[in-house]
Amino acid sequence: MVTSCEEDFTNNKGKNNKNFASQIINNANIIQRDSGFVTMRAKAPIIEKYELIDSPYTVARKGVNILFFDKKKPKTPGTIKAKYAKFYDYKQFYEARGDVRITTNENERFAMQSVFWDQRKKRIYTKDTVYVTMKDGSTLIGAHGMTAKDDFSEYVFYQNSGDFTTDKLSEKQK
């Protein structure tokens, strides 16, 4: 009696795992421009791009620090810092997690554990508690999250509380 150990590699067709990084950038320093104007600068210890799958994405597992520039105030950038970030290419959807800190170019500071940005809808949102410090020093807490325009010109907080002055409120809101 003779036995043989052979592996048939033809049966594994189509079962290859394609969910691996196709590009890895160490000490990334990325600059994004629109018509010559710098719109964003991103730094991260490591960025991985997953392009060989149906829904490609880019991930910064060890954190990211982003400066974003507005044409109205090009010399005063806003910032986003997070311990983890992910960008879904086709959906144009971003997520940031872990001690997320956002500072607008108007010096309003937002702190939360996670935030999501739908670039197509130009909306930012979270369901986490949001702590906001306004440029005048007043504070606001959105206990059940917020939604905002992506330029932070308008935002809505859910179940909010805080210390702020009434002269900030419009006549309509008083």
Q: How many domains does the chain have?
A: 1
Q: What was the pLDDT predicted at 43?
A: 95
Q: What is the dihedral of CA 104, 105, 107, 113, to 10 degrees?
A: 20
pLDDT of the chain, 174 residues: tens digit per residue: 555 555 555 555 555 666 778 888 999 998 988 888 888 899 999 999 998 888 899 999 999 999 988 877 878 889 999 999 999 988 989 999 999 999 988 889 999 999 999 989 999 999 999 998 988 888 888 888 899 998 888 888 887 766 655 555 444 444
Beta strands in 5-72 (DSSP E): 23-34, 37-50, 57-60, 64-70
Q: Considering the domain boundaries, does residue 173 fall inside one?
A: no
Question: What pLDDT score does 140 carry?
Answer: 85
* 125 CB-near residues (< 8 Å, 6+ apart): 115, 116, 118, 145, 146, 147, 148
Asked whether residue 108 is assigned to any structural domain, the reply reads yes
Beta bridge partners of 116: 95, 125
Within a domain: 17 = no
Pairing mode, strands 123-126 and 73-82: unpaired
- Tokens read off for 68: 């974003």
77 in a structural domain:
yes
Backbone angles phi, psi at 150, to 5 degrees: -70, -10
Give 168's DSSP letter.
G
Q: What is residue 171's predicted lDDT score, i.e. its pLDDT? A: 43
Q: Check residue 12 and give its pLDDT.
A: 54
Domain assignment present for 8 = no
pLDDT at position 163 is 66
Residue 68: domain span? 23-158
Closest CA to 137 of 115, 119, 161, 163: 163
CATH for 63: 2.60.450.10
Identify whether 40 is part of a domain.
Answer: yes
> Is 154 part of a structural domain of the chain?
yes
